[in-house]
Chains A and B, each alone.
Chain A
Amino acid sequence: AQKITQTQPGMFVQEKEAVTLDCTYDTSDPSYGLFWYKQPSSGEMIFLIYQGSYDQQNATEGRYSLNFQKARKSANLVISASQLGDSAMYFCAMRESGGSYIPTFGRGTSLIVHP
């Protein structure tokens, strides 16, 4: 079973609009962390935002925010005021604190921002 599911292989958004990239996860571990990474066409992996399972508030980092719905096991990334430079692959990842600390990555969502 997939631990991280990103159901949107591709998304399009108009510049300056907000966009939500979906991520659902599967774990029985009560303690875990959720991460989002951006991978531009140049290939590097850029850390964007982190949400801990015990965090009371949704994480925010500049134009990025994480819509964390624990009961639904979803951790959607919201990008506000999209910019052309936001066009990239976006990967959701989870790391469980019990047992292995190795994060599992989703298959990614390709975001294209139109001018």
Chain B
Amino acid sequence: EPEVTQTPSHQVTQMGQEVILRCVPISNHLYFYWYRQILGQKVEFLVSFYNNEISEKSEIFDDQFSVERPDGSNFTLKIRSTKLEDSAMYFCASSAHLDNQPQHFGDGTRLSIL
């Protein structure tokens, strides 16, 4: 069964450094998402992406964040200058459509900011 893959599984970065989290969505999916989950808390939406542009973003997704689909398969989340509070699990998800199709999640990247 096709799946969303994320790399790396764990990223440790110094505060202030840039980090890029990578995702390969399911190949025939059109909608892509990033979520984060701070340890022990609920899943929070960051951004959605469709047709090579951001379709929605939350207030968490400030100027420090950006997303890109550099080629036909990868979908990346960049954090320009990481802060301690960026430490979380980051999930990429994709769906075929918006409406009643479930979002399929990757296994997540655990980001630890030191």
Contact = CB atoms under 8 A, between A and B. Distances in A.
Contacts of B44: 105
A104 B42 CA distance: 10
A57 interface: no
Interface string B85-114: 000010101000011101111111010000
Interface residues of A, number: 23
A79 B31 CA distance: 30
A33 B100 contact: yes
A43 B56 contact: no
A107 B99 CA distance: 23
A68 interface: no
Interface of A: 33, 35, 37, 42-47, 50, 52, 91, 93, 97, 100-108
